[in-house]
Amino acid sequence: MKSLSFSLPSLRAAFASGVRAEDVAREALSRAEACNDPAVWISRFEDEEVLARARALDALPKEQRALMPLFGVPFAVKDNIDVVGVPTTAGCPVYAYQPKEDAFVVTRLVAAGAIPIGKTNLDQFATGLVGTRSPLGAPRSVFNHDFISGGSSSGSAVAVAAGIVSFALGTDTAGSGRVPAAFNNIVGLKPSRGLLSTRGVVPACRSLDCVSVFALTVADAGAIFDAAAVFDPADIYARTRMPETPALPSGGFTFAVPRASDLKFFGDDEAARLFEAASERLEELGGRARWIDFSMFEEAAALLYEGPWVAERFAAVGDFIEKHGAEVDPTVRGIVLGARERSAVETFEAMYKLEALKRRAQRLFSEIDLLMVPTAPTIYRVDEVMAEPVKLNSRLGTYTNFMNLLDMAGIAIPAGIREAGPAKGLPFGVTLAAPAFSEARLSAFASAFEAAQGLVPGAPQPQPETDESFIELAVVGAHMSGLPLNHELTSRGAMFVERTKTAPRYRFYALAGGPPFRPGLVRVEDGGAAIELEVWRLPRAAFGSFMAGVPQPLCIGTLDLASGKKVKGFLCEEEGLHGAEEITSFGGWRAFMASKAEKAAS
């Protein structure tokens, strides 16, 4: 099971050979637990609840199981989409509420046999394309944890690319269902507005929002879309799917790309090279390239954040943010509250302009079959985005922001791996787009491109590298992910590496005092045990300031890991053990704290 691909064909073959839905669910839970990026999930269902769903599927008659196109398929849901049993937070803990029913799209997928594993992280209130605007941490590209995952559907994309789930739901208003796909080497389907119901979704711009699908392949994304794309009469923006002819044109096709003077890659020469190669690949498939003036799309894109449509974000969550500003990401707060001054006159003027741009786009698409653009012009490191959160986020929307305003469908697909430059080894993607109701036709083009490209989707095989600009630091207590002092690492740009254990030569204590309550790890010659810990990569430049905050009797020494590796980590001086409680038998700080909580509740 460890090597089982979670692509739909692979799972179908496994089920046909006797593998149970429960077996796949257990493997998905195991992969979720082993994930080396603690910022992927906001909440997960209890293991037993997931397994109970799987057992219920396994107990169905064979004939009924055969009617379920997504039987036993594990999936994740962006945490601005309602799923009963876990809170919806939209990336803002104080906003959290318990939904009374599943979002319509989740209901459809569960009815098709899919099993939800949990809720994934996002840019707060789905406002951003970077994946860093969450108080719960920033998911990273599965190719290099120094780089962003893309947003706002950050956790959803990483969960798929890391092989934890078969597919994930995101949302897409300005590119949130496409940019993270490009940064993680997977497929991101942004359907036409209204084809996937947004009932049960926390709105960003309600008139533009789309539920999106992340999957390993174009075919998988199409199968998930087919299961979920049912008209929802209770969604005021719902539309009925139109019949299509999905096959590639026998006489060839015409695709548009921005002319050279309109293409922007912000110094990313490898992205430019890979986009040119993608254009050549479409030509090899029978396409005729047409280089177009891209200005109409740029003008439409500018309306989304520079025009009055940003007021829709205020209509959605503005009142809440005004009342809870201190708990909201400052960049998100500035964007949403900045919309208060937009006028009705300005809105109507922008609507007129948009209609004129739509007419220009209609004329173009009467002469071409599809548009191909880079999904994102480049990719950035997390520290770069944290330093310039608005400017770099804006750049990432260069080829995405216009699409929902102009009522288009799009599918983001992998298009190569950078071979040089600062982002060497990271994936690049393109998006194929066409007017609304063209999902099947776009999928046919995308499938042909995917087959010709020949990339293995998702994460690469791990290739550890030594980087002298970072120090690996082991933490055993309140600095671990999700615990009270973890911010002392994340605020300094530290990145999670792995969850593991020490070699079996330590004893573990709960020190006197607190809060915050702290453990003490002591190396011994005899009678030691393996203690759970986390390894983080801390920028060397930040190590001094971190060390300055380490109180006696704690110190930083060298720890032996279970693997035989040696890293810097927290140790305790023996004089600090006066009044301490030995907790070695718990095997780690989380287990000890959970035991304390149980005793307090009883």
The mean pLDDT of 115-120, rounded to a whole number, is 98
pLDDT tens per residue, range 499-530:
889 999 999 999 988 788 889 999 998 889 99
Instruction: Clarify whether 212 is annotated catalytic.
Output: no
Q: What is the CATH number of the domain that holds 507?
A: 3.10.490.10
Sheet containing 581-582: give its strands across. Answer: 519-523, 506-510, 581-582
The reported pTM is: 0.78
Instruction: For residue 5, count CB atoms less than 10 angstroms from its CB and return exposed for 0-12, middle for 13-18, buried for 19 or more.
Output: middle
Mark whether 7 is an active-site residue: no
H-helix or E-strand spanning residue 279: helix 269-284
Domain annotation covers residue 2: no
Residue 394: pLDDT over 60: yes
The answer to whether residue 459 sits within a structural domain is: no
pLDDT in tens, 417-461: 999 999 999 999 999 999 999 999 999 999 999 988 878 899 984
Within a domain: 1: no
Judgement on whether residues 388 and 516 belong to the same structural domain of the protein: no
Residue 340 sits in the same domain as residue 246: yes
DSSP E strand boundaries for 353-450: 370-374, 408-417, 427-435
What pLDDT sits at residue 462? 46
How many percent of the chain have pLDDT more than 90?
A: 79
Q: Which of 7, 153, 176, 192 is catalytic?
A: 176
Alpha helix ranges (H) inside 419-477: 439-453
Q: Are residues 159 and 302 in the same domain?
A: yes
pLDDT of residue 536: 85
User: Are 550 and 407 members of one domain?
Assistant: no
Whether residues 352 and 492 share a domain: the answer is no
User: What's the CATH number where 401 sits?
Assistant: 3.90.1300.10
- Residue 197 is among the residues annotated as catalytic for this protein: no
Q: Helices marked H in 115-190 — which ranges?
A: 154-161, 179-184
Rounded to an integer, the average pLDDT of 121-132 is 97
Q: Could you say which of 43, 78, 212, 279 is catalytic?
A: 78
Does position 27 have pLDDT exceeding 70, yes or no?
yes
Provide the pLDDT for residue 482. Answer: 66
Q: What is the extent of the structural domain holding 245? A: 8-413+421-453
- Residue 425 and residue 309 in one domain: yes
My answer on whether 151 and 269 are in the same domain is yes
What is the count of structural domains for the chain?
Answer: 2
Residues 361 and 509 placed together within one structural domain of the fold: no
Site of tokens 């951003």? 128
pLDDT per position as a tens digit, 207-219: 999 999 999 999 9
Mean pLDDT across the stretch 390-401?
Answer: 97
Q: What is the DSSP letter of 400?
A: T
Say what the pLDDT of residue 48 is. 97
pLDDT recorded at residue 152: 97
110 plus 255 within the same structural domain: yes
Is the domain of 437 the same as that of 480? no
Q: How sure is the predictor about 41, in pLDDT bands with cuts at 50, 70 and 90? A: very high
Identified catalytic residue from 152, 153, 279, 447: 152
463 pLDDT above the threshold of 60: no
As a whole number, mean pLDDT of residues 263-292 equals 97
Query: Do 574 and 431 sit in the same domain of this protein?
Result: no
DSSP string computed for 11-76: HHHHHHTT--HHHHHHHHHHHHHH-S-TTSEEEE--HHHHHHHHHHHHTS-HHHHHT-TTTT-EEE
Residue 464 included in any domain: no
